[in-house]
Amino acid sequence: MYKKITSIKKLKLMANTIRQDVLKMLYEAKSGHSAGSVSLADVFTAMYFNVLRHDPDNSNWEGRDRLILSNGHVCPVMYSAMANVGYFPTEELLTLRKPGSRLQGHPHKGTLPGIENSSGPLGQGLSIAVGMAIVAKRAGKHHRIYAILSDGEHQEGQTWEAILLAAKFRLGNLTAILDRNNIQIDGFTEEILPLEPLAEKFRAFGWHVIEVNGHDISKIISACEETKAVYEKPTMIIAHTIPGKGVPFMEYLTEWHGKPPAKEHLEEALKYLEEERKLIEEE
């Protein structure tokens, strides 16, 4: 079993490391999705280093919590969190998207230890998580199912079918975390196909809803704690995030949804993140 990190300062330093990893990986790969990957560093740090009950040395441990990633295009952030927590060597991160690498551009179950589902086609992850939660509940198991979702995929019908089903089966063992970054491939969600009022929609569908700042690691952890006390409803944590968060020239710009950094971008971003690291160390 890995050692949980409880110090917020150490968690912030880990999120900084993960952001740096993600940028280096995407630069080496020369393709991939920057905005969502860097902005989810805080959520993935909270999950892999504090919230999840898991064992990187025994990735198939039956009692582990399951983390389903639905928006597979942000997998660089998950790969970095997984490598830093001990699932595989961090040196392997720079093989992202290379032929023969275990780190495919979208996660592939069975290739890399600890990956619970293959993803890439958006809109399927919540259905997988609901299925797992139904099985675990019926079998009287105590592990939890977590699903990371994007906002763009809430424009797909399958996501809403899964939302209906989770409420019907009163899946108190299911926690979804929605990356509410307001962007999708072609622009802002509210201009392309409006989703709001999202929280009210989830409540009307029978879910417990918590809204948090998706860059506040301690709030993400407390929200996940809160869900453990909700027995008869699934929980949706709406994590409000800034696309590209942590790299000032990427923030809020939809053009960074699916673009890797060039050399000059990487250098500028790493310089900024190193300065941020020093400030965290001084806290």
Q: For ligand TPP, which residue of 184, 214, 234, 238 counts as binding (CB under 6 A)?
A: 184
Q: How far is the CB of 147 from ligand TPP (least distance, A)?
A: 13
Q: What distances in angstroms separate CA 71 from CA 133, 144, 161, 177, 277, one per listed residue? A: 19, 19, 17, 11, 28
Residue closer to ligand TPP by CB (options 117, 173) is: 117
- The stretch near ligand TPP (CB under 6 A) out of 60-68, 114-122, 207-215, 260-268 is 114-122
- 181 binding ligand TPP? (CB under 6 A): yes
Dist. CA 25–CA 251, nearest whole Å: 19
Please, are residues 209 and 235 in contact by the beta-carbon 8 Å criterion?
A: yes
- 127 binding Mg ion? (CB under 5 A): no
Q: Which residue type occupies 133?
A: A
Q: What tokens appear for 140 in the block?
A: 């009287």
Dist. CA 183–CA 187, nearest whole Å: 6
- Residue tagged 């959520």 (tokens): 43
Dist. CA 220–CA 210, nearest whole Å: 10
Q: How far is the CB of 150 from Mg ion (least distance, A)?
A: 5
Dist. CA 91–CA 109, nearest whole Å: 20
Q: For ligand TPP, which residue of 122, 134, 220, 242 counts as binding (CB under 6 A)?
A: 122
Please, are residues 36 and 70 in contact by the beta-carbon 8 Å criterion?
A: no
- 152 binding Mg ion? (CB under 5 A): yes
- 152 binding ligand TPP? (CB under 6 A): yes
247 interacts with, out of Mg ion, ligand TPP, none, CB within 5 to 8 A per kind: none
Residue closer to Mg ion by CB (options 116, 151) is: 151
Q: Which residues from 66-95 bind Mg ion, rule CB under 5 A?
A: none
Q: For Mg ion, which residue of 181, 227, 235, 254 counts as binding (CB under 5 A)?
A: 181
Residue closer to ligand TPP by CB (options 42, 151) is: 151
Q: Which residues from 17-76 bind ligand TPP, rule CB under 6 A?
A: 33, 35-36, 71, 73-74
Alpha helices, DSSP H, located in 193-262: 198-204, 217-227
Dist. CA 202–CA 143, nearest whole Å: 23
HSE, CB side, 13 Å, CA atoms: give it for residue 276.
Answer: 19
73 interacts with, out of Mg ion, ligand TPP, none, CB within 5 to 8 A per kind: ligand TPP
Contacts with ligand TPP, residue ranges (CB under 6 A): 33, 35-36, 71, 73-74, 120-123, 150-153, 181, 183-185, 257
